[in-house]
Amino acid sequence: MFSGIIENLARVKSVASKDQALVLQVETTFQDLALGESIAINGVCLTVVEFTDAGSATFFVSSETISRSNLGALKAESLINLERAVKLETRLSGHLVQGHVDGKASLVSVISNGQAYRLKFSMDAALGKYCIEKGSIALNGISLTLNAVKPAPDNQTIIEITIIPHTWEHTNLHALVRGHEVNVEVDVIAKYVESLCLPYLKH
């Protein structure tokens, strides 16, 4: 489990294809890694399968994860957001993030708003239905507040978020250009509510 508060902005060391999967090597700079621990890369929960004392870690990315996320587009030197799993005594500064990506959203525009930035993304309406104004969403693993949620043509939903200077500088959002895709994890509570209510709504 994660909180959506990015701990480190790192770079991919190497990407290797293995059958229909990928093997990622990342310079995490975390010097107390443990074999089998979970680390979120761009919001995707991955398992450390090898590591060095210097903080270099190796991760296996399955074909399922590749199909659901933007990890398949990573290459050497790609900027990635890292977050280690939360501890029970950790302050939950963001929101409950599982690291189980639901899909992707595409960057539509970035507008400067004073020292902050207003970002607009387009996503499939099937994900958009879980989004509400002032609700929570994780984009590339970052816990963010939805400022606006609007229906759009072609079965799309437009969402808008405001990024403060700290988040802009300390995550890979500043490296995005129009058309780039980010990983989306909607609020898991919304999905559970839908699942529990559906049997009653069908009657």
Instruction: List Cα–Cα distances, 157 to 76, 104, 112, 132, 140, in angstroms.
Output: 32, 12, 22, 11, 18
Higher-pLDDT residue of 123 and 18 is 123
Task: Kindly state whether residues 77 and 108 are assigned to the same domain.
Answer: no
pLDDT of 35-91, one tens digit each? 999 999 999 999 999 999 999 999 999 999 999 999 999 999 999 999 999 988 888
Burial 26-35 (b: 16+ CB within 10 A, else e): bebebeebee
Q: Please list the alpha-helical segments (H only) found in 79-144.
A: 125-128
In angstroms, the CA 16 to CA 60 distance is: 10
Candidates 99, 103, 107, 36; CA nearest to 68 is: 103
Residue 47 belongs to domain with CATH number: 2.40.30.20
Task: Kindly state whether residues 116 and 145 are assigned to the same domain.
Answer: yes
Of all residues in the chain, the percent with pLDDT exceeding 70 is 99
- Report if residue 131 sits inside a domain: yes
pLDDT of 21-31, one tens digit each? 999 999 999 98
Angular region, 102: left φ>0, alpha ψ -120 to 50, beta rest: alpha
Question: Which domain covers residue 60, as residue numbers?
Answer: 8-84
> Which pLDDT does position 18 carry in this prediction?
85
Q: What pTM was estimated for this model as a whole?
A: 0.92
Structure tokens at 13: 């060391």
